[in-house]
A and B are shown apart, each in its own frame.
Chain A
Amino acid sequence: MRKFLVFMVVSWLALGISFPAAAQKAPLKNMQQADLNYLLFVIQGDNAADALAAIAELGKRKNPESLDMLQMQLLLGYPPAMSKAMIQALGARKDAKAMETLVFYTRHRSTELRVEALVSLCELDFGKDPAPVKVVNEILLKALRDYHEAVRNKAAWLLGKRRVGEAEEPLLKLFSRGSTAAMQALGFIGGIRTARTLAMAMENTKTSKEPLITTIGTLLSREDFGPEPVRVQLVKILGDTNLPGAQNVLMVYHGSGPDAFPRSRKLAFQILSK
């Protein structure tokens, strides 16, 4: 009987301790059904975890009111962690109306928020309107000149992903200053100048060769990269490089390179056959 009582007391204590935690988690279960006012209440509340969940929920909603609320809260200023979540939520909404708010945050003093704002800005869906796309590209090009490396790297990556040809020159300059992100981005947008720069970099004994080979591989895999003699030169350079990565690139290129450039693909095969 006594043992049973002790067991009951311990169980009660354990449950008692766990009750508040359960109570804290309770709103999370109802977040999907909660109205906007409740979400706002949670965002403005003391519980950071709930606030972040409420922000994420706002990002999932489809109605314009929730978007306005998200933007309004972002402009009222929150600690960086919450602002970051809000920016991510705006990006998830992909709504072009969020552009102005996100542009504001591309100039924020926090590097992390600037990077998030750039990423979210690139996620926005502008339909067939070229004007905002151009604005975003210009913002990304400007971000390439940011004094913070993380921002430059992200901008380079996004520019490469978006195939912004104007970025080639600044990316080449960044590459000359040792930026690996710029080099990778050049793989997606680079032309003859990039090929020449990469070829020269391959001769430099101080440069790490593997990322260069990967970038050349990316260049070769593009259908818009050419002309054929440039490809031939790059294939020859890869052929002269005694690294497994180069052979892999040549194999992939020979196997699945663009059909418009048979000469260089054939050369790749010849090199691999030796």
Chain B
Amino acid sequence: MAIDKLKYFNKIKRLIILIWITYATVFNTEFAVYLPKVTDYFQKDNLEINKGIALIGGSNVETGLSAELISTNFYECLNLGISSEKEEFSEYTNYIKDKVSTDLIVYSPASIWSETPFAKEDSYRNSFLKLSGYIPSISIISQIREVVSPSSSLIKFNSFGDQVGFNCSNELFSFKIDQQKFTNSNDAIVEKIIARVEKLKGITGADKVFIRIPPVYAEEDKKKLISKCMEIRIKALKSAGIIVVRETIISSDKSLFCDNFHPNEKGREFFSMELKNLLQKMKL
């Protein structure tokens, strides 16, 4: 009797796992409904900038910079950072092309910290497959919630494009601060960024696209090596004629971060002021 029961439930378990694998497969296709970026796009849809500074990039800009702070007693500034810019750059450029007609763009590419070139450009799902070993990073429950109640996951933005309040999602990233494991300097990454800068200039007509290195957290003993590797990339960018805006690129101050790559509220204020001071010194 007990063995029959065990076998019966094992069959159900197999069925559950089969459904889950099917879900992972579907998630990897165009039918995936996990698009938190869509809600961000929607929220920032009515924002546009004709003069001043456009801050663009991924979640490190969205959560880690405040255009409002930078704008105070300085040039008009707009935060157009959207999560996953790195993985969905084409979609992102389509989004900003009608919104940015200013001369100056400060672009914080998360990809500058990448270890390896992307397997296939703009393929979030491909990188998802590669990174998480064919296991969905977002749960079925989240997917259902996204469909049933999309507004529940909306993040509010103000007229500067900054998040209202602060939200550093730990859905994808652990709170535990890992050190940035950046230990090599791959030229392919730099070439990719240069290509993106050219594309940005082309679609927005901006004269200047500055590259800002998004600050990351690393333990004190790792800073030297990471910094050395990053310097090689910065040098390569500069020799391609790109202006690199550099403030703190690696910090061991945990109180500024909510994970190894995203500043927290205190960090947002700190890094925004740092960027502002730097831009002020540049006498734009």
The finding on whether chains A and B are genuine partners in a shared complex, rather than unrelated, reads no
A interface residues with partner B (beta carbon < 8 Å): none
**Could you list which residues of chain B lie within 8 angstroms of chain A, going by C-beta atoms?**
none
